[in-house]
Structure 1
């Protein structure tokens, strides 16, 4: 009995241990295909001492006629000698359904070719790019094909390959598999379907985050956190539109109802959408205080390597107005405190 109680005490102690990194490489995601990095965004990169930028070069989606094709292609021209660029590709899970090894080999070759091409066009030095990152919400039925593609891409590119890791495959490794990559980026946000529960913040819900954290992972692990917001418009209690907007965009025509919820008091066009008087709007965002709370939970429940990358999603001057550069600096520092 004494031995058993000692074992329980050890488990409790381990559960409360704080894991900190010795060194954090500061990073952001840049996820806009049709705009340049603004002066304000560049100033934040400098002020927050950001050393790495994960840039979405393009997306890959299936097409019944053309096959797998790139979309949302990058048109970014940005030069910063002190900044590492990591070309990133978002690939829809449907691409890997019923795929053959031959088609996956071709896909790996095409992705590698396009990444190199857009790196040249964007004035990024191909020789200085050492890593590609793939972003795909793979499922149990597609993991074998997705993992084969990752191996093929590493072979044809000669680069380090990383991939994003959602919290579900992080926790359920036996079911979802471990991808054959050099590193994974644990995406600690977008935990729920925003339409499923009207009372919680689907971008970052602490109870949901706690329910997934705690597993050991066999690959080097980096951390991504959210610095974005959105508004969900409901008309006659039915979801109508997701807006990339802030309450300030409504010119004081929103009436607060309860936490996160507002009502439009007059007709107004926001983000190209016609909002009607009486529409209910749910505003989801994550404050600096909530992000600091998330970092504390991650440090308690996730074993961090000595050197990690911490990335915020994403670099957008409109949404980053919610945070001061000192706040972003502090959040990076929390991982080493």
Structure 2
């Protein structure tokens, strides 16, 4: 073999061996009952999903005492899926006076183990979802340290965009990795903006990502909701609704060119009372939005994400992307 050909083959082999690997596809599961529908099972299998991030319970403050709320109930077994328990910790808990973080950490891990034992689940990671503030930072970070001491082998935490940009003030949690929540970045408002995803808002923060010292995976939105507006003020958030929820209903008139419905007369719908003159604004995420998010994040993260986690796995959400071939994998490949 001549030297030029040998060098070429060696370089090709080296490029093949060191070419970046696409992030794995994962999902959040955020319902209080774990029971995968056929479409949800198919989506997991089709996208080679191994990690499912399941919300186990919330921790809230009741009469000044941290308490678990709405623990998940398993109606079906997760099978071969690697389950990562997620605990949503309300910031009010970290702001409580005299909260015993060591005791709280032990109780949270104990409850996770109880759920695991009942379902014969083995987990190796715990994820904490908390939108901490400057006031709660020290207590929250101490709580994470207490979780490690109590036996959490691997620990991850959700990270918001503002916590990335101002990390020298907001601090960096001492966890194994973070998950950048790349959604809910705008203001919930009565105008035509989209509070789930606003590119102009996102670009104010993305440049800071390359300086963030914690390895980050990325969570992207695949959900929609509605805002109930009365007198130009948002009075309620309507989960799991889309345009089809109101289209064809004569009590709601679609306004041309914008995602608003006007209530034509007083009506009860979705166990919710709407007055004539109220408006419903639908906020959703298109497949093109997900591609745009991935493209905008490519190259600005300090390192490529190991996982792209979609929020959240639910037949209601999945149906909006049925006509998109390999959407979740292609979004991951865009990084």
The TM-score normalised by the length of structure 2 is 0.86
Select the residue among 102, 105, 114 that pairs with 2:102: 105
Report what 1:222 is aligned to.
Answer: 217
User: In structure 2, how many angstroms separate the alpha carbons of the residues matched to 1:251 and 1:24?
Assistant: 37
List alignment gaps of at least 5 residues for structure 1. 1-19
1:251-262 matched pairs, under 5 angstroms: 251-253=247-249, 254-262=253-261
Of 56-65 and 21-30, more deviation after overlay is shown by 21-30
Q: Number of matched residues?
A: 309
Report what 2:198 is aligned to.
Answer: 205
Q: Which has the higher contact order (CA 8 A, sep 6+)?
A: 1
Shift of 1:183: 0.4
Secondary structure at the aligned position of 1:138 is classed as coil
Report what 1:326 is aligned to.
Answer: 326
Contact 1:99 1:145 in 2 (8 A): no
1:155-166 matched pairs, under 5 angstroms: 155-166=149-160
User: In structure 2, how many angstroms separate the alpha carbons of the residues matched to 1:235 and 1:21?
Assistant: 50
Shift of 1:118: 1.0
User: In structure 2, how many angstroms separate the alpha carbons of the residues matched to 1:124 and 1:54?
Assistant: 17
User: In structure 1, how many angstroms separate the alpha carbons of the residues matched to 2:87 and 2:20?
Assistant: 27
Alignment deviations for residues 245-304 of structure 1 (CA, whole Å, 9 cap, x no partner): 122122513322442222234554332112334321111001000110011001132232
Contact 1:257 1:263 in 2 (8 A): no
User: In structure 2, how many angstroms separate the alpha carbons of the residues matched to 1:179 and 1:288?
Assistant: 32
* Change beyond 3 A, Cα 1:227–1:21: farther
User: In structure 2, how many angstroms separate the alpha carbons of the residues matched to 1:46 and 1:114?
Assistant: 29
* Change beyond 3 A, Cα 1:257–1:44: same
Of 315-324 and 325-334, more deviation after overlay is shown by 325-334
1:53-64 matched pairs, under 5 angstroms: 53-64=52-63
Higher alpha-carbon Rg: 2
Select the residue among 88, 91, 94 that pairs with 1:90: 88
Contact 2:127 2:158 in 1 (8 A): yes
Contact 2:28 2:313 in 1 (8 A): yes
1:23-172 matched pairs, under 5 angstroms: 23-34=22-33, 36-64=35-63, 67-100=65-98, 103-121=100-118, 123-126=119-122, 129-172=123-166
Runs of 4+ in 1 over 4 A off after TM superposition: none
User: In structure 1, how many angstroms separate the alpha carbons of the residues matched to 2:268 and 2:320?
Assistant: 22
